[in-house]
Amino acid sequence: MGGDELILLNYWASMFGARVKIALEEKGLNYEYREEDLPNKSPLLLQMNPVHKKIPVLIHNGKPICESNIIVQYIDEFWNDKAPLLPSDPYERAQARFWADYIDKKLYNSGGKITWCKNKEEAEEGKKEVLEIFKVLEGALGDKPYFGGTKQTSSIVGLQLSRDPREKHEKEHARIVQFLRRSRMKWVIS
Ligand SMILES: N[C@@H](CCC(=O)N[C@@H](CS)C(=O)NCC(=O)O)C(=O)O
């Protein structure tokens, strides 16, 4: 709605924050972006997210909304007059949420083993797990422009995958790489 003040507290490399950025961009909303220094969190972040003390936080007219998937759903519900991020059919919505949840539960942990590995073995284990997860996603993905026909899920998938060894595995996971390319629009990487 016109006149809304939106502030996004974020960290550039966060895939969680990127989801929120994507949702805001999809809806065409103007917002103020504030980069957080995570080792030195701002008083505003601590005040707005006292429970988890994490980014992303969306501050809407002074009120905080925390947790990326909850923020995305809030954005979709509040600005429900344009660019729906979830399907209208309840069953389809449940499917989209299922895959978003799957990625949250599975890919972050396995991808993290690669990003923050203590040794080569852990990195290898992470890589194996990520490739297995890709395989599952490949099967579910189809050739849709957006995963499950929804932009929210695509955002989540695209973002999660954008941090993983995707192009290197183009042969094994051609469909997921293609999907990533389709869903990776100007706002994903910026
Ligand atoms: N479940 C949260 C995860 C958010 C999260 O882990 N944010 C990280 C950056 S990617 C953070 O703020 N870390 C700072 C900390 O843990 O102190 C969400 O989806 O928003």
90-189 matches 6-78 in CATH topology: no
**19, 6 contact by CB (below 8 A):** no
Span 48-88, pLDDT tens digits = 999 999 999 999 999 999 999 899 889 989 998 877 777 78
The CA–CA distances, whole Å, from 116 to 58, 59, 163, 188 equal 27, 30, 12, 22
Going by alpha carbons, the residue nearest to atom 14 of ligand 1 is 54
Q: Which residue has the higher pLDDT, 183 or 35?
A: 35
Span 131-167, pLDDT tens digits = 788 778 777 766 665 544 455 454 445 544 544 444 5
Counting residues of the chain whose pLDDT is more than 70, the rounded percentage is 72
Does residue 56's CB lie within 6 angstroms of at least one atom of ligand 1?
Answer: yes
Does residue 38's CB lie within 6 angstroms of at least one atom of ligand 1?
Answer: yes
* Cα(54) to centroid(ligand 1), Å: 5
- Each domain of the chain, given as residue ranges in start order, spans 6-78, 90-189
Q: Does domain 90-189 have CATH number 3.40.50.2300?
A: no
Going by alpha carbons, the residue nearest to atom 13 of ligand 1 is 54
* Cα(57) to centroid(ligand 1), Å: 10
Q: What is the topology classification, in CATH, of domain 6-78?
A: Glutaredoxin (3.40.30)
